[in-house]
Amino acid sequence: MPIHPLSHWLMLGMLVVLWGLAFAFAKIAVETVAPEWTMAGRLLTGAALLLPCLFFTKGGLPRDSRAWAWLIALALIGNIAPFFTISWGQQHISSALAGILIGFTPLATLLIARAFVPGEFITPLRLAGFILGFAGLVIVVGPEALLGIVTASGGDARLAQAAVLAGAFFFACNNVMARLAPDMPLLAKSSGVMLAGALMGTAISSAMTPPTALLAASAISLLGVAGLGIFSTGLAAIVFFRLIDRAGPTFVSLTNYLVPVFAALTGYLVFGEELRLGVLGGFALILAGIALSEWRSLQD
């Protein structure tokens, strides 16, 4: 019998769509906006979206230092660190290889959650399902991308692979940390993380590139940053924290298998990119892996 109710699957689907759109928005944004300011801009936009909603609903940001320590840690581990390491890594390796490396997030989440989250277990079916889902991800992005791990030459390529893997590890840690964070209202938690991330991200970006560089950005790129902030960051944060609280980090990490499929479909529909037949076959394998990992026998 299925472990999770329909509402969990619907929220998972929403998260896949919101995060999957990030690839299209980012492709538009980085045409004339530096990667560091794309990161800071999406966090600033997310904060600008959520904070008015928080105050409009007569909510407030947390006041105790313990809650803020968690919010700052979530902003660093879940937003700033992975956005930076993955963006840097993708400058030296293909997006397909990066997609495979990020696909280790569910497996890393499974191991970390087993150690820190009560009720998260590594069953043979769950492990087999995650491995099957990863195999489907490899088919979606292209098996030839795996050759990049073996044939990569030069320190930059190896370091880039390590940077993207670090980003996957950061995402896994964030999944677990979000579940372990102190209880607080959903909108307050989402807004607090966005505010902390926006302040820190802006400071880091300003140290790397003067803000005046944004004056040369095109209107379409700025719209791409806005799309990242509104949909893939602000709204996604609300769905993410709600789903983490209700379904747990291991379930949420399944998005890392599904997002590349949605991104491939979006690239085909919006940018006219090639859609390989392997994408559909890989998607079917991913769904089979998810079904296997989330299926509980009657004896359980």
pLDDT digits (tens, 9 = 90+) for 167-206: 999 999 999 999 999 999 999 999 999 999 999 999 999 9
Chain CA centroid to CA 100, Å:
14
pTM to 2 decimal places: 0.88
Quick one: average pLDDT of 55-62?
A: 91
Of residues 31 and 244, more confidence is placed in 244
Residue 298 is predicted with a pLDDT of: 34
Average pLDDT, the chain: 88
Assigned token pair, 178: 């979000």
Quick one: average pLDDT of 34-51?
A: 94
What band does 152 get if pLDDT is binned at 50, 70 and 90?
low
What would the DSSP string read from start to end of 78-111? IIIHHHHHHHHHTTTS-HHHHHHHHTTHHHHHHH
Pairwise CA distance, residues 82 & 170, whole Å: 6
Question: 158: how many CB neighbours lie within 10 A of its CB?
Answer: 14
Q: Name the least confident of 63-72, 80-89, 124-133.
A: 80-89
Residue 295 per-residue DSSP state:
B
Residue 118 has pLDDT above 90, yes or no: no
Could you give the count of Cα atoms lying within 13 Å of 272 in the half-sphere of its Cβ? 0
Q: What are phi and psi of 79, to 5 degrees?
A: -125, -65
Residue 121 is predicted with a pLDDT of: 81
Residue 219 has pLDDT above 60, yes or no: yes
Q: Name the least confident of 148-157, 167-176, 223-232.
A: 148-157
Of residues 71 and 162, more confidence is placed in 71
Are 49 and 231 in contact by the 8 Å Cβ rule? The answer is no
Q: What are phi and psi of 2, to 5 degrees?
A: -65, 145
Residue 264 is predicted with a pLDDT of: 79
pLDDT digits (tens, 9 = 90+) for 235-258: 999 999 999 999 999 999 999 899
Pairwise CA distance, residues 291 & 64, whole Å: 41
If you search the block for the tokens 């492990």, which residue do you land on? Answer: 127
Quick one: average pLDDT of 52-59?
A: 92
H-type alpha helices, the chain: 6-29, 35-56, 65-75, 81-89, 95-102, 105-116, 124-141, 147-151, 155-180, 186-208, 219-227, 236-247, 249-252, 255-271, 277-293
Are 289 and 129 in contact by the 8 Å Cβ rule? The answer is yes
Q: Find the radius of gyration of the CA atoms of the chain.
A: 19
Residue 300 is predicted with a pLDDT of: 45
Quick one: average pLDDT of 264-275?
A: 77
If you search the block for the tokens 């709600």, which residue do you land on? Answer: 242
Closest CA relative to residue 190, chosen from 254, 232, 236, 245: 236
Pairwise CA distance, residues 68 & 66, whole Å: 5
What band does 69 get if pLDDT is binned at 50, 70 and 90?
very high
Q: Assign 20 to helix, strand or coil.
A: helix
Pairwise CA distance, residues 62 & 148, whole Å: 45
